[in-house]
Amino acid sequence: MRRIDVLSLYTNDMSFYGDMGNVLIVSKRLSFYGFEPVVHFYNPGDSFPDHVDMILGGGGQDSGQKNIFDDLQMRGEKLRQLSTQGVPMLMICGMYQLFGKYFLTNSGKKIPGISVFDVYTEATSDRLIGNLVEESELFGRLVGFENHAGQTYFSSPLTPLGKVTSGGGNNSKDGIDGVIVNNTIGTYLHGPVLSKNPKLADFLIRKAQLERYGEEQLPSSPVLRRIDELAAKGNEVASRRPR
């Protein structure tokens, strides 16, 4: 079995609304494809793994973001390098915001991010909450759950993850959600997002395999075909549920 090293970034503070499920889903899919998934759980003060093939990060409360802030700044250069190299990453909500340039609080304080994405986020009094549905050129219909008061904007022309058909997404104005830079994805889709969107999960796995072994085509998996049929039904039901 070929090994794939998956890093769960700031597991203790940034894994709200089911985001830890993304780590479990990726691990199971890797196993069904015949890989050996090795998951590293990283929190402030831990040693950063010598090698990673994929990085997953989730959302968290303001207190969680404060807990990881100093460590994230210390690891920022490393994470930017890995993103530039093509290591696939999925950053949800709070981690999406911190991978941007800065977060502007309601009091006017500017909290710096690590600038993997050329985006910025501003706190608002309006909370975007409920099912989020979007159409992605790469992945088709994506569904999940959003819950955020910070609204994110592009500082330069970027590729969004999808065009919102129901919900808020990045903000209440632009009609888009998320961003894709290299193989790094940011999004407001909780859920966990990978449970109802297996094409997104397989994108991460294909890119991890490509970076480590020089191959992108995944082997056939009868088990995953059945799982994906069920995921498609869940995607359809969730897309029709009211906010």
Which positions are annotated as active-site residues? 93, 190
Assess contact for 192 and 96: CB atoms under 8 A: no
Tell me how far apart the alpha carbons of residues 49 and 42 are, in angstroms, rounded to a whole number: 8
Radius of gyration for the alpha carbons in the chain, expressed in angstroms and rounded: 17
Strand-pairing partners, residue 55, are 7, 89
What does the block give as tokens for 155?
Answer: 């500082």
